[in-house]
């Protein structure tokens, strides 16, 4: 097998001398030197797409390029020095949508669970930097885990939204055509959707398309057919993750932020805990939801079985004054988009034009392979790509209020990896969770719950469901969505809702206080932004940042200079500039 793979690689990439090894799990490790990062990624994909290969560990290098690698030494040494700080049944690494979703699922049981997160808050990685689409599951390759969990997860979102009280907008999506030549492509797309079991998918004629998406009447050409995906949904991704985390916390899960996992403890093939920058946490189970670092965590657990290559996506958010053309996510397919996207990235075409549940036009994300997993820089090229997805003639660069980028944690099979590690028992991989990871999250959580609970039973660890589990989060006050009468009544009850802090989004002091005193305390300006939208509008916090900072300092009992924008040393203000010094000034 090794030889066959090596020969095929040699044939496809004659300039590269790739060294191939294969283990008994059919995991291929490839070493050698490539000429560019893109080529390195291509080799990885090429091997992973071979029928007989389970996954690829890509340890190739690039001539003249230093590939950034995270150094865990200092974190590990700091943690070892601090010794054992906690003992839990389950440690979850990463507070993204997978980690928080699993935490909430496990909080139903009499298990002690801690979520450790390297950043200062939940939802700071790929879970944040995406377009919030709850995909129907029509785009995934049939037969993959991704396809299965996508469709299932999509279906489960209604319940999540109902219990957790976040906004889910089942807007539906349509791909319509005017050109008969596009018919076969449309039918093919429909067959895939049917094969995946997508809910409610319909292949329609022209009149039916116009009935479903009346805005298409404005389109110049005659719509002759469409694929209609009623289950397409929209969420604000941070709303989902915050809601999951808050509900998990309410049901007993604890969170440790600013805590980097630097090693996984194992003994005789059994996981024993994690070494973090803040000390050692002993545990029977470790669930790896570390996003772009999932492969490194798995390797620490002795299970080097896949490699994450970061795929950066850049998104542009437009001013709400520029209204989206469609309530649903609909577009007329001309075939051009297929071509342009295939040039850009073979494995992912990136996203298109959509909107947020709050009705901002959202463009992108783009799809660019990056060697640095933390490279969330925006570039002119990526922005141009995102902007090219815009089909609204009235909207353009001058409507942009925010450009941001995130890194998708893609493995080379481009599928999800969810399994109990066959090497280290008790270590559960939840890796490669890129799009549609947000849509699949409820199904992922359920699947991991199943793996863990079944294993507990097998190991005769007594688990039972808690009687006092409360699946419901109370509805949050959203001043902006209330009627004037409701707003008035609210302020009469609590005057703090009468003070608008964020002008652009009409966010009140009361809402910010609700967020600060929630089960998962936000400590930074960005954490408040994710929970309340303060600073998310067109002025991007120019007006409200000083006010939010003041409220945070006051409520958390901190000095203003201690308040950060995000994790790490990201404080906003330095020293109070002028201390009064009696009889004169020293500085």
Toward another protein, which CB reaches closer, 325 or 505? 505
Which is the catalytic residue, given 45, 49, 135, 425?
A: 135
Determine, following the binding rule CB under 8 A, whether residue 487 of this chain makes contact with another protein: yes
Tokens of 530: 């994710």
CB of 498 to another protein, least distance (A): 4
Which of 38, 495, 517, 558 contacts another protein by CB under 8 A? 495
CB of 317 to another protein, least distance (A): 8
Determine, following the binding rule CB under 8 A, whether residue 321 of this chain makes contact with another protein: yes
Non-local (6+) Cβ contacts of 14 within 8 A are none
Sketch the per residue contact string, 454 through 483, with another protein: x for CB under 8 A, - otherwise.
Answer: ------------------------------
Which of 492, 517, 554, 558 contacts another protein by CB under 8 A? 492
Determine, following the binding rule CB under 8 A, whether residue 221 of this chain makes contact with another protein: no
- Which of these ranges, 3-11, 243-251, 432-440, 542-550, lies near another protein under the rule CB under 8 A? 542-550
Q: Which residue has the tokens 């009064």?
A: 580
d(CA 268, CA 330): 54
Query: Which among 251, 254, 210, 204 has a CA at the least distance from the CA of 229?
Result: 204
Q: Is the dihedral of CA 156, 172, 387, 45 positive or negative?
A: positive
- Strand bridging mode 279-288 / 270-276: antiparallel
Determine, following the binding rule CB under 8 A, whether residue 323 of this chain makes contact with another protein: no
- Which of these ranges, 64-72, 138-146, 213-221, 402-410, lies near another protein under the rule CB under 8 A? 402-410
Determine, following the binding rule CB under 8 A, whether residue 83 of this chain makes contact with another protein: no
Query: Which among 570, 536, 526, 549 has a CA at the least distance from the CA of 125?
Result: 526
- Angle, alpha carbons 95-383-231 (nearest 5°): 55
- Strand bridging mode 61-62 / 33-34: parallel
CB of 567 to another protein, least distance (A): 7
Which of 73, 184, 339, 581 contacts another protein by CB under 8 A? 581
Which of 144, 345, 560, 562 contacts another protein by CB under 8 A? 560
The answer to whether the beta carbons of residues 134 and 438 sit under 8 Å apart is yes
The answer to whether the beta carbons of residues 567 and 259 sit under 8 Å apart is no
Determine, following the binding rule CB under 8 A, whether residue 393 of this chain makes contact with another protein: no
Determine, following the binding rule CB under 8 A, whether residue 543 of this chain makes contact with another protein: yes
Coil, helix or strand at residue 106:
helix
Toward another protein, which CB reaches closer, 234 or 387? 387
Q: What is the Cβ-side half-sphere exposure of residue 257, based on CA atoms within 13 angstroms? A: 18
Cα–Cα separations (whole angstroms), residue 71 to 33, 75, 122, 261, 459: 22, 8, 23, 11, 35
Which of 334, 378, 518, 521 contacts another protein by CB under 8 A? 378
- Which of these ranges, 167-175, 209-217, 357-365, 565-573, lies near another protein under the rule CB under 8 A? 565-573
- Torsion, Cα 248 254 259 261, to 10 degrees, reads -80
Determine, following the binding rule CB under 8 A, whether residue 582 of this chain makes contact with another protein: yes
Which of 18, 41, 242, 401 contacts another protein by CB under 8 A? 401
Largest Cα–Cα distance in the chain?
Answer: 86
CB of 576 to another protein, least distance (A): 6
Per DSSP, what are the bridge partners of residue 406? 313
d(CA 301, CA 288): 10
Which of 380, 394, 465, 468 contacts another protein by CB under 8 A? 380
Q: End-to-end alpha-carbon separation of the chain, Å?
A: 73
Q: What is the CA radius of gyration of the chain?
A: 25
- Which of these ranges, 85-93, 232-240, 349-357, 571-579, lies near another protein under the rule CB under 8 A? 571-579
- 425 catalytic residue (yes or no): no
Q: Which residues are catalytic?
A: 135
Which stretches of the chain bind another protein, using CB under 8 A?
321, 374, 376-380, 383, 397-398, 400-404, 484-485, 487-489, 491-492, 495-496, 498-500, 503-504, 506, 538-540, 542-543, 545-546, 560-561, 564-578, 580-585, 587
């Amino acid at each position: 097998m090794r030889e066959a793979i090596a020969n095929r690689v040699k044939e496809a990439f004659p300039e590269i001398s790739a060294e191939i090894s294969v283990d008994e799990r059919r995991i291929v490790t490839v070493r050698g030197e490539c000429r560019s990062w893109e080529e390195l990624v291509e080799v990885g994909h090429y091997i992973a797409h071979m029928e007989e290969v389970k996954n690829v560990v890509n340890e190739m290098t690039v001539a003249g390029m230093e590939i950034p690698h995270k150094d865990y030494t200092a974190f590990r040494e700091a943690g070892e020095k601090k010794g054992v700080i906690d003992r839990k049944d389950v440690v979850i690494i990463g507070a993204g949508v997978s980690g928080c979703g699993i935490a909430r699922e496990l909080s139903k049981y009499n298990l002690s669970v801690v979520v450790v997160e390297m950043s200062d808050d939940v939802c700071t990685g790929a879970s944040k930097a995406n377009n919030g689409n709850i995909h129907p599951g029509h785009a995934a390759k049939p037969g993959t885990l991704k396809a299965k969990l996508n469709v299932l997860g999509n279906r489960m979102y209604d319940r999540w939204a109902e219990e957790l009280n976040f906004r889910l907008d089942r807007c539906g999506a349509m791909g319509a055509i005017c050109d008969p030549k596009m018919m076969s492509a449309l039918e093919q797309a429909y067959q895939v959707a049917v094969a995946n079991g997508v809910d409610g998918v319909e292949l329609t004629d022209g009149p039916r398309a116009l009935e479903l998406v009346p805005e298409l009447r404005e389109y110049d050409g005659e719509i002759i057919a469409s694929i209609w995906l009623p289950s397409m949904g929209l969420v604000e991704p941070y709303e989902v993750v915050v809601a999951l985390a808050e509900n998990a916390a309410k049901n007993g899960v604890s969170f440790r932020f600013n805590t980097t996992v630097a090693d996984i403890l194992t003994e005789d093939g059994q996981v024993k805990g994690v070494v973090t920058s803040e000390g050692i946490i002993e545990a029977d189970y470790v669930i790896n939801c570390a996003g772009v670092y999932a492969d490194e965590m798995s390797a620490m657990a002795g299970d080097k079985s896949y490699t994450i290559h970061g795929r950066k996506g850049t998104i542009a958010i437009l001013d709400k004054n520029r209204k989206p053309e469609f309530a649903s996510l609909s577009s007329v397919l001309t075939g051009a988009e297929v071509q342009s996207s295939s040039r850009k990235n073979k494995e992912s075409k990136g996203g298109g034009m959509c909107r947020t549940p709050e009705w901002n036009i959202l463009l992108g994300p783009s799809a660019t392979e990056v060697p640095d997993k933390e490279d969330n820089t925006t570039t002119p090229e990526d922005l141009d790509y995102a902007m090219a997805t815009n089909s609204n003639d009235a909207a353009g660069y001058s409507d942009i209020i925010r450009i941001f980028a995130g890194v998708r944690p893609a493995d080379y099979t481009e599928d999800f990896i969810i399994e109990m590690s066959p090497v280290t028992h008790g270590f559960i991989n939840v890796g490669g969770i890129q799009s549609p990871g947000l849509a699949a999250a409820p199904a992922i959580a359920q699947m991991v719950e199943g793996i863990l609970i079944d294993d507990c039973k097998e190991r005769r660890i007594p688990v039972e469901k808690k009687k006092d589990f409360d699946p419901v989060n109370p509805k949050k006050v959203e001043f902006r969505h209330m009627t004037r009468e409701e707003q008035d009544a609210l302020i009469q009850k609590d005057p703090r809702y009468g003070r608008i802090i964020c002008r652009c989004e009409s966010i009140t002091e009361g809402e910010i206080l609700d967020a600060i005193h929630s089960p998962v305390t936000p400590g930074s300006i960005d954490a408040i932004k994710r929970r309340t939208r303060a600073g998310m509008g067109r002025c991007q916090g120019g007006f409200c940042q000083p006010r939010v900072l003041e409220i945070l300092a006051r409520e958390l009992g901190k000095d203003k200079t201690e308040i950060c924008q995000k994790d790490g040393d990201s404080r906003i203000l330095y020293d109070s500039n002028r201390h009064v010094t009696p009889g004169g000034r020293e500085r």
